[in-house]
Amino acid sequence: MSKDPGFTTEYILDKTFFTECYDQTSLPTQFPKAYLKGILFLIFGVVLLEFELLPNGYVGWFFIVLSVIEAFSVYCKRTWWIWRQKISSGAGSKVVFQGDVNGVSYKNAKNTNTIAWTDISQLQQTDLGFILHIGKQRQYVSKSCLSDEAIAFMVEQHEASKAPKAPKAPKAPKAN
């Protein structure tokens, strides 16, 4: 009897996983670009106050305070994201991750998500895991829960799904 190719593994959605997920998938913030909105709010608020464009200065002060909050949100982005994940309904739950010739699937107490290999446009390897690119979405899978065979299987299946298909032979013309 032959065994179906694939793998099954489990992991827990805990702070360690969320931290690794954020660190591996987040794009680094660039100083001027990340704080641009806060800088614009600050300039707008100062202009409103300095040139007395409104009868009272409350709106100007509102934009100045808003710029400080915006800068703080950029500074605390990682902490805020991890905290939001920790209080989510899925936090602490066990996830069963399976891979077979059709694709990969995640299953926990509340959700089931299946992704076909053909839907994964890129399988990006990082030091600690894989980032599955599905259109504009990205899903992270940690290598800490995967065996070497499962890692090799994922790479092999993704490459096989992206290999060019052999063209079909043209049909012979019908005789009249």
Instruction: Yes or no: say if 118 and 134 are a contact pair by the CB < 8 Å rule.
Output: no
pLDDT of residue 24: 95
The β-bridge partners of 104 are 99, 115
For residue 146, which phi and psi values (nearest 5 degrees)?
A: -105, 140
The pLDDT value given to residue 101: 95
Residue 175 is predicted with a pLDDT of: 64
Which of 150, 96, 147 lies closest to 123 in space, CA to CA? 150
Distances (CA, A) of 31 to 70, 75, 167: 13, 10, 50
Say which residues have a Cβ less than 8 Å from residue 45's Cβ, sequence separation at least 6.
59, 60, 61, 62, 63, 64, 66, 67
CATH 2.30.29.30 given to domain 6-14+91-162: yes
pLDDT tens sequence for the chain (176 residues): 446 789 999 999 999 999 999 999 998 888 888 999 999 999 999 999 999 888 888 999 999 999 999 999 999 999 999 999 999 999 999 999 999 999 999 999 889 999 999 999 999 999 999 999 999 999 999 999 999 999 999 999 999 998 877 666 566 666 65
Distance CA(105)–CA(93), nearest Å, equals 16
* C-alpha distance across the termini of the chain, in Å: 50
pLDDT of residue 28: 84
Tokens matching residue 159: 């490459």
pLDDT score for 1: 44
Instruction: Quote the pLDDT of residue 87.
Output: 96
